[in-house]
């Protein structure tokens, strides 16, 4: 086992011949850690979804595995084990292609509730060693190094203790890569440098040397579009980016993000994370046997009532509703609908009906010569969120299309809340409005996105 952090020496005076006085050993130690450039530890779980499946099912360990949102050859992997990655399979690889590359690959249904449960255990384990400062996604967190933790040897020992804690308390398959650096941006970059189970450190005095061999795309925040924009501006290498003038950077990015980005690669400044919720979105990939318009509409209605339940649980109101659809042919459709401030299931379902009818008309699925479409995915969104305390009653229903007195609106909201209580006590969909989708969709809408981790309560809505 790696050594524990050394205790801060007692303040017994030690002779300081140069100064002709005494200085506590703790002051010497404090000077050392204050001089250290290490400020952050960034932890990135390796192939998280697939690793959880391998940990829970020993028969999957050491084997190529992909996790999928729905059982269909045309769907794509949302996670791949490192054994699968060795065959060139990655997130986004279609199932049929994965089978071609690796005939023996195991295809596993996603269990988002289990990944959230394990995520909470991971946070608890990290907190045993150092407080979690920011949770960036289901598989990435950062921790601020304080005091003696900032000393190089102590930061490395801390990282090893976290890794050992994962092995002992979570299982041998739950591995992580850890980066240590002056800011979270560089710590995340360091964590990406060695996978799986890596530990990489970047110190200020190593800059820009440690960065120069890297391609631009290795930097967090530079994707294919940003890379093309940089190339068009004559920035083709990390050395070009390091030499970029702040004013020129602002022109290339088109915002203050340009100069800020150039500072972050130098270990100056950092990410910011807003806790304000701006929207609630849910979407669902349809199984092949349930891709007709009727089945897709039932899914859209179920997503809307689920979102309404989340609004009420979080004490929020929505002023906008959106509906989107993706078809097997590759076509897409989306539209927005204005709402009076609401968390009422009936208002949300009315919005679904209105937008759905508009979508069928605009895509030629109704009337003479109708061409029924096959749906691949449907999704809904609630926007313009505000706390209940900021509600403004509307006598005429506003954009919702449902004329209602304040008393009637309050009664419907009360009914929706009563349904939430019954479903919470006896199981989701114990009571519901209208028909339910024909296929089993236990986690409908409660999906993990890069910047959103569902509450465990969502899996019961």
**Residues forming the active site:** 140
Other Cβ atoms less than 10 A from the Cβ of 44: the count is 23
357-362: list long-range contacts, CB under 8 Å, 24+ apart. 359/323, 359/325, 359/333, 359/335, 360/293, 362/333
Tokens read off for 60: 């999957």
Other Cβ atoms less than 10 A from the Cβ of 246: the count is 14
């Amino acid at each position: 086992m790696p050594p524990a952090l050394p205790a801060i020496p007692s303040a017994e005076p030690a002779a300081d011949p140069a100064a002709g006085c005494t200085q506590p050993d703790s002051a010497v130690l404090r000077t050392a850690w204050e001089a250290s450039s290490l400020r952050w530890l960034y932890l990135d779980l390796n192939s998280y979804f697939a690793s959880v499946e391998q940990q829970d099912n020993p028969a999957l360990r050491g084997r190529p595995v992909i996790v999928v949102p729905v059982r269909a050859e045309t769907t794509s992997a949302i996670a791949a084990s490192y054994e699968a990655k060795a065959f060139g399979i990655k997130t986004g690889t279609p199932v049929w292609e994965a089978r071609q590359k690796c005939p023996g690959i195991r295809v596993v249904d996603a269990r988002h509730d289990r990944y959230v449960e394990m995520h909470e255990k991971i946070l608890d384990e990290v907190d045993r060693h150092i407080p979690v400062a920011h949770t960036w996604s289901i598989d990435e967190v950062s921790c601020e190094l304080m005091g003696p933790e900032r000393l190089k040897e102590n930061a490395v020992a801390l990282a090893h203790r976290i890794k050992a804690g994962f092995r002992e308390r979570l299982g041998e398959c739950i591995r992580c890569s850890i980066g240590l650096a002056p800011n979270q941006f560089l710590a995340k970059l360091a964590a990406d440098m060695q996978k799986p189970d890596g530990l990489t450190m970047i110190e200020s005095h190593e800059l820009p040397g440690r960065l120069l061999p890297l391609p631009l795309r290795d930097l967090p925040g530079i994707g294919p579009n940003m890379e093309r924009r940089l190339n068009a501006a004559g920035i083709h290498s990390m050395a070009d980016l390091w030499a970029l003038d702040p004013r020129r950077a602002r022109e290339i990015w088109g915002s203050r993000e340009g100069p800020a980005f150039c500072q972050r690669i130098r270990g100056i400044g950092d990410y910011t994370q807003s806790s304000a919720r701006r929207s609630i979105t849910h979407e669902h990939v349809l199984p092949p046997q349930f891709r007709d318009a009727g089945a897709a509409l039932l899914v859209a209605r179920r997503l809307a009532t689920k979102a309404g339940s989340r609004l009420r649980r979080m004490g929020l109101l929505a002023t906008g509703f959106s509906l989107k659809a993706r078809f097997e042919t590759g076509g897409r459709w989306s539209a927005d609908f204005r709402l009076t401030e609401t968390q009422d299931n009936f208002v949300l379902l009315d919005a679904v009906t209105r937008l759905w009818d508009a979508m069928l008309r605009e895509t030629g699925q109704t009337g003479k010569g109708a061409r029924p479409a096959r749906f691949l995915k449907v999704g809904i969104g609630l926007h313009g969120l505000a706390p209940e305390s900021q509600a403004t009653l509307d006598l005429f229903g506003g954009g919702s299309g449902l004329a209602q007195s304040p008393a009637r609106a309050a009664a419907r909201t009360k009914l929706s809340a009563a349904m939430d209580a019954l479903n919470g006590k006896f199981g989701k969909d114990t009571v519901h409005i209208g028909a339910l989708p024909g296929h089993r969709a236990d986690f409908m809408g409660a999906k993990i996105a890069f910047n959103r981790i569902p509450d465990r309560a969502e899996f019961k809505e």
